[in-house]
Every structure is written in C-alpha cells, then in structure tokens.
Chain A
Amino acid sequence: MEKYVHPFIDACEDVFRKFVGTELFAERPFFSHRDDVYTWDISSVINFTGEAKGAVVISMKKDLAAKITAALTGNFHEEVNEETVDAIGEIINIIAGNAKKGLEDAFRLKISLPTIIQGTDYSISWPSDKTRVISIPFKIYDKESFCLSVAIESTGAKEDA
C-alpha cells in the first residue's frame, strides 16, 4: 500500500523545495480515526480509484498557510482569505499533478483534481469504508507542521505482496 503513498510524499518534498524554497521533513506516521474532527484550518482532498481506491488529504493550520502564501506571492495575510485559498490550492494542485504523473504511469490508477476545504472543526468523509487513516506529519520551518493523511485499500486488481 505504501507504494501508492510514496509519490505523494516525494511530490510534497519536491514542490516545497522548488516553489516555497524550504525543506520538509517527513516524520513518523501514525493512525487517526476516520471520524476525527480536524483541527486544521485548510485541507485539500484528492481521490483516486483503480487498482486501489481511497483518498489523500493534505491539511494545515492557517498560520502555516499564511506563511506559505507569503513565500509564494509576497503578500502576508493574517486570516485565511481568497489569496491564501488560491495559493494553497495551487500548491496542492502542483503536488497532486506531480504525484499523478508518477502514479498513473506505474499503476492503474485514476486521480481526481483536488478539492479545497476550509474552516475549523470539519471532518472529512473518506470514500472507502475503512475506519483508520494513516497520517504522516511533515515538519516545516523548524516547528510548524502540516499533515498528509491517507486512506487506501486495494481493490484486488493487483495485491501487493
């Protein structure tokens, strides 16, 4: 299963290095429950189907979103506004695009365009009936972090050994 997640991690690191100009550090993954309420401020959901189905979500706090937006556009906004959503949406679009290239070449998968969700206290309706979600925290700017959450299951087309 992890082979489906790797392209996303690589794409994240790559995109942040190239566009935001900072290194990411992937930290120890852990499990979240699918019904966990997200305390993040902005999230983006990317669905995929094919030989495996599921979703990948990238979530972050508004402080970090503001910093990334500033790094991208040069404008700093305290609150999440249209420009922040656009900037984060764009970053996630690029990440999804990069990951898509790697994934669709190697596996029989189709990947959706990312959807952006903002606000607090929302939960994400994960597509499969899996109860557990694997969360991979990324450390950025020394002590900030954002989170890549993954829920996938094989549809049996190709089971990994």
Chain B
Amino acid sequence: MLKVLKTFILGGFLSGRSLDQLEPQVVERHLRQFLVNFILLVGGLFFFYKGITAVLEGDRLFSVYYLVLTAICILIYLVSFLKKIPLSFLSYATTILFTVLFGINVYYSKAPEIALLMTLPLPLIHEFLLGIKAGTIISLIFGAYLIFIRYKFFFISSFDKNTDFWIVSAYFGVLLLGASHEITNKIRDRVIGSRTDLLRAERDQVTIMKDNLKAGIFLMDKDYKIQSGYSKNVEVIMGMKDLVGINFTDLLKESLKEKERETIMDFFSMVINKSFDTEMLENINPLSQFKYTKLGTAQEKELRCTFSSILSVDNEPLILGTVEDITQEVELQNQLSVEDSKRQIEMNAMFEVIHIDPNVLIDFIEDTEFEFAHINAMLKGNRETLSPEVSSVVLNEIYQAIHAIKSNALILGLKSFSVQLHDYEDEIKKYMDVESDFDDMLRLTFQLEKLMNVNDGFKKIFNTIMSFTKNSVKMEQKAVFIQILEDTAKKVASGTGKLIKFKADYIDESIIKTGPRRMIKEMLIQLIRNAAYHGIEKPEERVAKGKDETGHISLIMQKNLTSIHIELADDGCGIDYDRAAAKAEELHLLTEERKNDKNFLLNLLFQPKFSTSQTVNMYAGRGAGLSLVKKLITDLKGTLKIRSGLNLGVCFIIDIPLRDTYTETL
C-alpha cells in the first residue's frame, strides 16, 4: 500500500520517470522535473483556489483569469508526461509563465510588499531550471523591470519606499549569490569531469595492457575464488568462460591429484601469510610448470603460474595470479634437449673415434657395413616362409654378425656403440628362445636401423677427420691387420687386468691382399679374445706358476702350395677340460662315459651358447665367439686342430684350402 502510494506520488512529481537509476545526471534531471512539477502543481492549486473564490464572489473577470491559469498549469503538467517533450521546453514554459505572473502580481497587487518579497526566489529558480546563462539573463530582465516599477509606478501605494529598495536590492543579492553558486558548481564539475576523463583513460590503458599481455592476470580472495576484472587471456588459456567466483583449485581438478591440490592450497596460504620472501615462494611454487587438462576434455597444455600476495583497497589480502601457456616453449625445449642428447652422443662418438687410427677406423666401418649388408641379405633371403625354424636360423646369423661387430667395436674402444650392440644381442636372444612373430621382426628391424645409423655417423666423422688430414700416410693393409689384432689383445688385457703381448711372427702379405681377409680376421679376433680371456692367467697367478708375468700370443700366417696355414699360440693355462665338463654336466649334455672324452668336450666348446665363463659381460660369456670361429672355418672348408697342454697354453692350427676367389659370408 505504502509502496503504491510512494510510486504514485513520486511518479506524479517525476512525470512518470522511474527512480531506479540513480546516476548523478539522472538525479539532477529528476530534481529539475520535480521543481517544475512542484511549481505547476502548487501554482495550479493556488490559481484554482483563487478562481473558485472569484466565482463565489461573482467576480467574472478574475474567475475566468484564474481558471484559465489553472488550465494552463494542468496542461503543462500533463505535457510533461510525454517522453518526447524535452525538459528544457517545460522549464522555459513554466518559468516564463510564472515570472510573467509574478511581474503582473507585483504591478497590480493590493499588497505590493508581499508580491515583491515573493519574487526573491525567482533568480534561484531561473538559474536552476534554465541554466546559468539563460537564467541570469531572464533574472536580470526581471530585476530591471522591478527597478523600473520602483521609479515610475510605486508611489501610488502606501508602501515604504525604503522597504522596496531593500527588497529589490535583496533580489539582486540573491541573483548574484545564485549565479556565483552555479558558476562554482560548474567549475567544480569541470574539474571533476577532467579528472574522471583522466582516470578513465588510465583505466582503459590498464585494461588494454592487461588484455594484451600474453599471460592471464587474475585476483583471488582468501578462499581462492577468482575475482572479477581478470584479463581476457585467463579465459583463453584456461579454456573456460565466466570464471568470477570459481575456486581456482577447482579448475585444476583434472590436471592434478587431490593430494597435489592440497599442496597448492598450502602454498596459497603461505603466499597470503607471506611466510617466506618472494624469491623463496617462487622457488617452491608447485605450479611454476604443470600439465593442465581442461575440465571435461583431454586437451592438454603446459602452463606456468605465478602467485603473489597483495592487499585490496579494503585491506583484505588477495592473491595476484598470472597464468601463461608455455606449451610451445616446452615443446621447443624438449626438441632442443633431444637435439642436445643427440649431439652429446655424436660428441661422445667423436671423442671415441678420434682416438682411433683412421686406417683402422675405416677398416672397421667397412667391415661393419659389410656385416649389415650381410644381415640385410639374410632378412631379404629365404622369403618362402616365415616359419619359426627359418626365423631362428636367420636370427642366429644376425646374432653372430652383431657379435662380430661388437667384438670389433670393443677392440677399437667404441664404448657406447658396443653397449648398444650388446643390448641388441640381448634383444635378439629374447626372440631366439621364443617363437618370434612379424611384430617382433619389425621391432628388431627398426632397432637395427638405429645401429646402422650409428655406423653412418662414424662414417661421417671419419670423412670429417679425413678432410683435415688429407696428406696422412695410408697405413698398409698388413699393418692395419696386425694393429687390429694387437688392439684386440690389449683391450681384453686392460679389461681384465692381465698383461698380454701379441706378436705376429710371420704374416704372408698376399693372404691379406687376396685371401678371405675378413673371415680370417674375424676368426683370429675371436681366438685372440678367447685366448686372452680364458687362456692367459692373471700376472700374480703366472708368477706363482713360475712363468713370465706377461702372457704371450703369437701368430703365424703362411701360404703353402695348396693352403693357407695359420697358427695362433698362447702360453696360458691350456684348455680346462674339468671346467668344460662341469659346465656340460650343468647343462645335462654329458653322459658318464664321455666325461673324459676330450674330443667331445672340445666340440662342446665350439657350440653356440656354450661358455665356461661364470658370468656374461661385454667381453665373454655368451659362447658366441668359438662357435663363430667354427662356422667361419666350415664355410671356408678349412680344418682346425688344437694343441693344448695344461699350463703350457693352446695352439690353434687352421688350414684353409687355397682358391682363386672367396665368397665372404660370415
């Protein structure tokens, strides 16, 4: 009821304008409207009262006059309800109407002093409703009118001349005060306006900066709820809209585990309480880089957040957060680190490689290429079927080829390549024992490619080295050959702490030039490794046995009429038949009557996967070496004899029939 009344009265005075908006300009306009309506209503009522009185008194002229005035007031008032009519029109109409009426009243009133007093608020009304310029002009005109009346027509009344002088003076006083008040207001408004403009410009600038910043900026209250006024990029980066009032940690629901989010809240409370200095807080920031998963999707981004504590205007602690999308940065970094590790591997390879005599190195590279080509031939051949038997044969051949490369790599000290080859051997071993299918073969092929790439890398390095040392003396093939065998012995020696000296007593160069050089080299490497690893004893053991503390391995390679004759002798412990027998027993390969059958045990030593070594390491233990020797000799249709004496050493005697050409398969 009260509300309806209030709406009715207010609506009446404001000509139906709503009071909902209370911005300064609107309020000011309302006040003007209110004043206009007030004047119209009060004036209208007064005229109506006067008109009725005149009617009752029978004064026809005045009754018509007053009722017409009443009608005009009501008309203007009604017009004010039309929204199209500007307030200034109403103001002018009302002011001019009443000013004229006041003027008439002053002139004709029976009590001029009262009529004169009533004109005092006029300047204020003028200035307020019509503005300083128009208001002052009209007030001045009216003042002039008052002075005019005072001098020409005032003497008729009994009114004290002094009084009217003072009232007119007061009128001008009010006019002056009103004007100065309005002017002061105007100036103040202008000052405030310019300050507002300045502030607005600054605010716009801040908004532009905020929105153009790559990082998103936002504020959180002490309950980690995001406050309004965050920058646009927060929405873009988090991939969500309308973040005001949302708990920041809730946004990370799918990115972090419950525990991690608790950690983050702990961190936030540390930020708010300023438990540590800024640098320390930055160091322990758990969100300095994390994988962000957008809620409800699988989209992932790498984000970086920073947090610092600030105080709001009301002295409430707030957290100022920034969030930045660093996905590309991280990706780039990963790429760089991959490149870096690649480069690192290349550098390591480089260091390993530059220690090797280029002649020996190129020999190794070519041999390795040869082995790889052989492996590929194995892969390509035997197309008919992929049956397990064929696969295991192929795998075994690949295994031996890889083993040969590994031996050579070890001799040259190519550590990381050896390790890779060793791992690959492991991998092949895994598939040799079980039935390998296509997927396994595909995997092995791809791994093989990596090894091939390593060798390609060596070749590149070799070419680089050669481009620097154009004039270096090319080592003779025979020297390279001996060098490699020497290195083989040295390598095992340094790996086992033994002292070993390799000596080539005689080598017929034509064997190296025209014979099956690769295959002979391969078998010699395996035999030397075998002798060095199993045959030659440790220095103290040798001294105890009364031998020279340095073990000797010697080689003779000569050509007879029909064959190539090779003798490789060591002065080690000889073949340990007991150990071989024990190992054979362990593998259930031995029957009682064969226990002392030396030929059978010897044969076992040359079987694949048979090794007397207790442990498998890079140098021995897989039983591949001697079986490879056996295979090579068989392929060359050669013969092998072994002379062995306990503590006297072993001598391998190999005879290979001479031929015009050899097909070098390993």
* Chain A 126-161 per-residue mask, 1 if CB under 8 angstroms from chain B, else 0: 000001101011000000000000000011111100
Digitize B319-334: 1 where CB-to-A-CB distance is under 8 Å, 0 elsewhere: 0000000000001001
Of all chain B residues, the one with the shortest Cβ separation from A153 is B453
Given contacts A155-B335, A159-B338, contact A27 B383 (CB under 8 A): yes
Q: Does B442 make an interface contact (CB < 8 A)?
A: yes
Q: Which of B335, B339, B379 contacts A29 (CB 8 A)?
A: B379
CA distance A78 to B439 in the complex (A): 35
Complexed CA–CA distance, A112 and B638 (Å)? 56
- How long is the Cα–Cα vector from A69 to B294 in the complex, in angstroms? 48
Q: Assuming A28-B386, A28-B394, is B334 touching A1 (CB within 8 A)?
A: no
Q: Could you tell me if A29 and B445 are in contact, using CB atoms closer than 8 angstroms?
A: yes
Whether A134 contacts B376 in the complex (CB less than 8 A), given A27-B383, A28-B441, comes out as: no
Determine the distance from Cα of A33 to Cα of B98 in the docked complex, in whole angstroms: 109
Query: Within 8 Å CB of A28, what residues of B?
Result: 379, 383, 386, 391, 394, 438, 441
Residues 445-456 of chain B: 1 if any A CB is under 8 Å from the residue's CB, otherwise 0? 110110010001
Docked-complex contact A30 and B438, CB < 8 angstroms: no
For B456, the chain A residues whose CB sits under 8 A away are 131
Within 8 A of B (CB), among A1-21: 1-2, 5-6, 9
Chain B residues lying within 8 Å of A107, measured Cβ to Cβ, are: none
Instruction: Tell me, yes or no, whether B188 is within 8 Å of chain A by CB.
Output: no
**Which listed residue (A26, A134, A137) contacts B446, Cβ 8 A?**
A134
Contacts of B442 in A (CB 8 A): 2, 5-6, 9, 26, 29, 136
In the assembled complex, the CB of A10 is this many whole angstroms from the nearest CB of chain B, namely 11
B449 and A31: CB pair below 8 A? yes
Does B380 touch A at the CB level, under 8 Å? Answer: yes
Q: Please measure, in the bound complex, the distance between the C-alpha atom of A159 and the C-alpha atom of B442, giving whole angstroms.
A: 18
Which of B338, B445, B452, B456 gathers the greatest number of chain A CB atoms within 10 Å? Answer: B445
Q: How far is the CB of B426 from chain A (nearest CB, A)?
A: 16
Query: In the complex, which of the residues B380, B383, B446 contacts A1, with contact meaning CB atoms closer than 8 Å?
Result: B446
The closest CB in chain A to the CB of B445 belongs to: A29
Residue of A nearest to B373 (CB): A31
How many A-B Cβ pairs are below 8 Å? 57
User: Do residues A156 and B394 form an inter-chain contact, with CB atoms below 8 A?
Assistant: no
Least Cβ–Cβ distance between B451 and chain A, in angstroms: 11
B443 at the A interface (CB under 8 A): yes
Q: Is the CB of B379 within 8 A of A137?
A: no
**Nearest opposing residue in chain A for B376, CB measure:** A31
List A contacts of B448 (CB < 8 A): 31
Contact at A2–B339, with CB atoms within 8 Å? no
**Residue picked from B383, B394, B443, most chain A C-beta under 10 Å:** B383
Decide if A30 touches B380 in the complex (CB within 8 Å): yes
CA distance in complex: A136, B391 (Å): 15
Q: Judging by beta carbons under 8 Å apart, are A30 and B335 in contact?
A: no
- Decide if B379 touches A2 in the complex (CB within 8 Å): no
Tell whether A156 pairs with B445 under 8 Å between CB atoms, given A27-B383, A28-B386: no
A interface residue count range (under 10 / 10 to 19 / 20 to 34 / 35 or more): 20 to 34
- Alpha-carbon separation in the docked complex, A8 to B438 (Å): 14
Given A27-B386, A29-B379, A30-B379 in contact, is the A157-B334 Cβ separation under 8 Å? Answer: yes
Contact partners of A31 in chain B: CB under 8 A: 376, 379, 445, 448-449, 452
B332 CB to nearest A CB, Å = 10
Q: Which chain B residues lie closer than 8 Å to A6 at the CB level?
A: 439, 442
Are B335 and A27 neighbours in the complex by a CB distance under 8 Å?
no
A29 to B439, CA, bound (A): 10
A156 touches B379 (CB 8 A): no
Which chain A residue lies CB-closest to B379? A30
B335 touches A157 (CB 8 A): yes
Find the B residue at minimum CB distance from A26: B438
A161, B300: Cα distance in complex, Å: 21
Please give, as numbers and ranges, the residues of chain A lying within 8 Å of B331 by CB-CB distance: 157
Residue among A5, A30, A134, A136 having the largest count of chain B Cβ atoms under 10 Å: A30
B460 CB, min distance to chain A CBs, angstroms: 11
- B598 CB → nearest A CB, Å: 41
Pick the contact of B339: A5, A25, A156 (CB < 8 A): A156
Residue A156 contacts which of B334, B383, B391 (CB distance < 8 angstroms)?
B334
Nearest-CB residue, chain B, relative to A33:
B376
CB-nearest residue of chain B to A158: B334
Query: B residues within 8 A CB of A157?
Result: 331, 334-335
Residues of A within 8 A of B383 (CB): 27-28, 137
Q: Is there contact, CB below 8 Å, between A156 and B443?
A: no
A112 to chain B minimum Cβ distance, whole angstroms, is 22
- What residue of chain B has the Cβ atom nearest to residue A134's Cβ? B445
Q: How far is the CB of A95 from chain B (nearest CB, A)?
A: 17
A interface footprint on B432-445 (CB within 8 Å = 1, 0 otherwise) = 00000011011101
Q: Count chain A CB atoms within 10 A of each CB in B335, B391, B452, B456 and give the residue with the most.
A: B335
How far, in angstroms, from A108 to B277 measured CA to CA in the complex? 42
Complex: A5 Cα to B443 Cα, angstroms: 10
A145 to chain B, nearest CB (A): 8
B551-583 vs A: 1/0 string, CB under 8 Å?
Answer: 000000000000000000000000000000000
Report chain B residues within 8 Å CB of A158: 334
**What is the chain A residue whose CB lies nearest that of B380?**
A30
Partner of B335, one of A5, A131, A156: A156
Task: Contacts A25-B386, A131-B456, A156-B339 given; indicate if A30 touches B334 (C-beta within 8 A).
Answer: no
Chain B residues, CB < 8 A from A131: 456
A interface footprint on B345-373 (CB within 8 Å = 1, 0 otherwise): 00000000000000000000000000000
Q: Which residues of B contact A154 (CB under 8 A)?
A: 338
Which residues of A are found within 8 Å of B452, using beta-carbon distances?
31, 132
Q: How far is the CB of A55 from chain B (nearest CB, A)?
A: 15
- Judge whether B446 and A2 touch: CB under 8 Å: yes
Complex contacts, A155 vs chain B, CB 8 Å: 335
Which residues in B have their C-beta under 8 angstroms from that of A159? 338
- In the complex, how many angstroms separate the beta carbon of B270 from the nearest chain A beta carbon? 36
Which of A2, A26, A30 contacts B443, CB < 8 Å? A2
**A6, A25, A31, most chain B CB atoms within 10 A:** A31
Instruction: Knowing A131-B456, A156-B338 are in contact, say whether A30-B445 is a contact too (CB < 8 A).
Output: yes
B330 to chain A, nearest CB (A): 11
| Minimum CB–CB distance for B479 against chain A, Å | 31
Q: Flag if A27 contacts B438 (CB, 8 Å).
A: yes
| Contact partner, B376, options A5, A9, A25, A30, Cβ 8 Å | A30
**Closest approach, in angstroms, between the C-beta of A146 and any C-beta of chain B?**
13
**What is the bound-complex CA distance between A7 and B177, given in angstroms?**
93
* Distance (whole angstroms) from the CB of A48 to the closest CB of chain B: 16
Q: A31-B379, A132-B449 are in contact. List 12 more A-B contacts (CB 8 A).
A: A1-B446, A2-B443, A26-B442, A27-B386, A28-B386, A28-B391, A29-B445, A30-B445, A31-B452, A132-B452, A137-B383, A157-B335
* A-B pairs with lowest CB-CB distance, top 8: A30-B379, A156-B338, A156-B335, A29-B445, A30-B380, A26-B438, A2-B446, A1-B446
**Sample of 10 A–B contacts (CB below 8 Å):** A2-B446, A26-B438, A26-B442, A28-B386, A28-B391, A28-B441, A30-B380, A137-B383, A157-B334, A158-B334
